[in-house]
């Protein structure tokens, strides 16, 4: 607003220096038609509007006997006598006032008696007049409110879009991999050791996936060993004697106490069918190693011994 007042000041000052007071009057009237500009007037220091009479014109003509300005139509007389007006006369500086309740600005701008003005207006006054602007802020406030709603809508829309894309990004980055990992863990819990987490990444999710795949491989190997030992135990149990030889002189019995892993422990009783004398062979063996391979070797040894006995 101060910039506008300074512009008007320079325009009117230039017009007045050229001796075209009527143009200054028409300029003020034209400015009064600007939308949103409720009031623009140039006041004398006594509070009356400039150009409403010929007092100043007669004073100037008296100062310039060689040149006389013609009398032209005047503007409507107004009077301004407010504390702000008196304050600017005393302090000689621009003053701005805002009435928020009635939504308008008032601006008072002093016209200084510059050296080029003193030829016509004399040297007795420091202030020749006061430019008074009154601008309504109703439209401005409506525009600000409208801009606020628009900005809020834009921010909300942008926030929704950002949240939407963030959810998609987090879903692809974290949720989907975790769902895949959870599915693999569930299948492993059901005994399926042939599944793998198909995630190849260099971050924490990738590290967890690699560790789960390694764990699944270890569980698969342990399951294979467990099945092998179970089968070996079955083989061993079926190959060990279930009945013991009878003898008039001895009580014969046998028992195999296993460790956690079974495989090659072996004992047997071998009797000869063609011997006239009672003969009982006792065989005790331990095939090195564990698992089905040791059990099968034990079965081969047992079969060979029985064939040769």
3-state SS string over the chain? Answer: CHHHHHHHHHHHHHHHHCCCHHHHHHHHHHHCCCCCEEEEEEEECCCEECCCCCHHHHHHHHHCCCCCCCCCCCCCCCECCCHHHHHHHHHCCCEEEEECCCCEEEEEEEEECCHHHHHHHCCCCCEEEEEEEEEECHHHHHHHHHHHHHHHHHHHHHHHHHHHHHHHHHHHHHHHHHHHHHHHHHHHHCCCCCCCCCCCCCCHHHHHHHHHHHHHHHHHHHHHHHHHHHHHHHHHHHHCCCCCCCCCCCCCCCCCCCCCCCEEEEEEEEECCCCCCCCEEEEEEEEEEECHHHHHHHHHHHHHHHHHC
Tell me how long the chain is: 309
Backbone angles phi, psi at 165, to 5 degrees: -70, -30
pLDDT of residue 165: 93
Tell whether the model's pLDDT for residue 17 goes beyond 60: no
Write down the residue that tokens 């016209």 correspond to: 111
Strand partners, 265: 286
Closest-CA residue to 16 (of 48, 56, 46): 56
Average pLDDT over residues 231-253: 79
Residues of the chain with CATH 3.30.450.20: 2-136
pLDDT of residue 163: 94
pLDDT: is 161 or 202 the higher one?
161
Average pLDDT over residues 229-256: 80
pTM of the model: 0.42
Domain 2-136 sits in CATH 3.30.450.20: yes
Average pLDDT over residues 154-180: 91
d(CA 280, CA 286): 20
Tell whether the model's pLDDT for residue 149 goes beyond 80: yes
- The answer to whether the beta carbons of residues 89 and 48 sit under 8 Å apart is no
Both tokens assigned to 269: 């009783």
Model confidence at 96, pLDDT cuts 50, 70, 90, reads confident
pLDDT: is 122 or 197 the higher one?
197
Average pLDDT over residues 79-104: 82
Both tokens assigned to 3: 């910039």
Model confidence at 21, pLDDT cuts 50, 70, 90, reads low
Both tokens assigned to 265: 């422990």
pLDDT of residue 156: 94
Tell whether the model's pLDDT for residue 162 goes beyond 80: yes
Closest-CA residue to 16 (of 167, 107, 128): 128
Closest-CA residue to 209 (of 171, 177, 186, 175): 177
Cα within 13 Å of Cα(199), Cβ side:
27
């Amino acid at each position: 607003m101060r910039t506008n007042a300074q512009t008007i000041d320079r325009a009117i000052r230039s017009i007045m220096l050229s001796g075209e007071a009527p143009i200054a009057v028409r300029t003020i009237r034209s400015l009064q038609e600007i939308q949103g500009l409720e009031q623009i007037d140039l006041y004398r220091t006594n509070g009356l509007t400039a150009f409403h009479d010929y007092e100043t014109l007669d004073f100037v003509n008296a100062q310039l006997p060689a040149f006389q300005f013609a009398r032209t139509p005047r503007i409507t007389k107004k009077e301004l006598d407010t504390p702000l007006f008196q304050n600017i006369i005393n302090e000689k500086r621009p003053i701005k006032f805002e009435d928020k309740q009635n939504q308008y600005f008032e601006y008072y701008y002093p016209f200084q008696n510059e050296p080029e003005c003193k030829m016509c207006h004399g040297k007795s006054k420091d202030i020749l007049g006061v430019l008074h602007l009154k601008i309504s802020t109703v439209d401005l406030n409506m525009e600000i409110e409208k801009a606020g709603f628009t900005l809020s809508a834009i921010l909300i829309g942008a926030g929704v879009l950002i949240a939407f894309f963030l959810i998609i990004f987090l879903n692809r980055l974290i949720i989907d991999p975790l769902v895949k990992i959870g599915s693999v863990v569930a299948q492993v819990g059901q005994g399926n050791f042939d599944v793998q987490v198909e995630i190849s990444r260099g971050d924490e999710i990738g590290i967890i996936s690699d560790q789960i795949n390694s764990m699944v491989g270890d569980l698969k190997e342990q399951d294979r060993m467990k099945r092998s030992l179970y089968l070996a135990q079955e083989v061993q149990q079926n190959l060990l004697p279930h009945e013991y030889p009878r003898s008039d002189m001895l009580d014969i019995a046998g028992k195999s106490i296993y460790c956690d892993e079974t495989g090659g422990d072996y004992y047997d009783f071998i009797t000869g069918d063609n011997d006239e004398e009672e003969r009982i062979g006792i065989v005790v063996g331990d095939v090195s190693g564990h698992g089905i391979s040791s059990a099968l070797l034990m079965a081969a040894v047992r079969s060979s011994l029985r064939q040769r006995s």
